[in-house]
Amino acid sequence: MNIINFINRFPDEASCIEYIKVQRMQQGIICKKCTGIKHYWLENKLSFQCASCGFRTSIKSGTVMQSSNLSIRTWMTTITFITATKKGFSASELQRQLGMKRYEPVFRMYHKLRKVMGQRDERYSLEDLVEYDEAFMGKSTKAKIRSQSKRGRGI
Ligand SMILES: [Zn+2]
């Protein structure tokens, strides 16, 4: 996806939240507390609430965006920059392009994304990353249930 397509498709934070929310719901969310898989979306908390126990999973939790205060659109813009740019660029250049005041959060985000994306080939797109990458979005429900049942058999 080039920059223009990105801007058209994701003009604001709300459109980015909606996109990530839908992707995560399609993948399935597992409650950390009770391993329930049915969740309701809480728009004002930007979280999924477990239907069984009420535990909340934030939209960023379990993804590469976890514990970051940067907006989801900032993350998605940076992914688009990385995939749309052939040559590498510095974190300070990224900070300038994003118009961010503080360097440190931009540096940390860039470092995490480079680590996650570095293992993939150059044709990596935003769709690939968001839809398929476990490091970005967290493991899918199916994958988690599989690994849990494997552990279960060992006991
Ligand atoms: Zn629960």
pLDDT in tens, 8-50: 999 999 999 999 999 888 888 999 999 999 999 999 999 999 9
DSSP symbol at 55: -
Per-residue model confidence as pLDDT tens digits over 119-138 = 555 545 555 555 545 556 65
Q: How far is the CA of 29 from the centre of ligand 1 (A)?
A: 10
Q: How far is the CA of 49 from the centre of ligand 1 (A)?
A: 8
- Ligand 1 (ion): residues with CB under 5 Å are 31, 33-34, 36, 50, 52-53, 55
pLDDT given for residue 153 in this prediction: 47
Collapse the DSSP code of 41 into the 3-class scheme (helix H, G, I; strand E, B; otherwise coil) and give the result. strand
Q: How far is the CA of 27 from the centre of ligand 1 (A)?
A: 17
Interior angle at CA 135, CA 38 and CA 76, nearest 5:
90
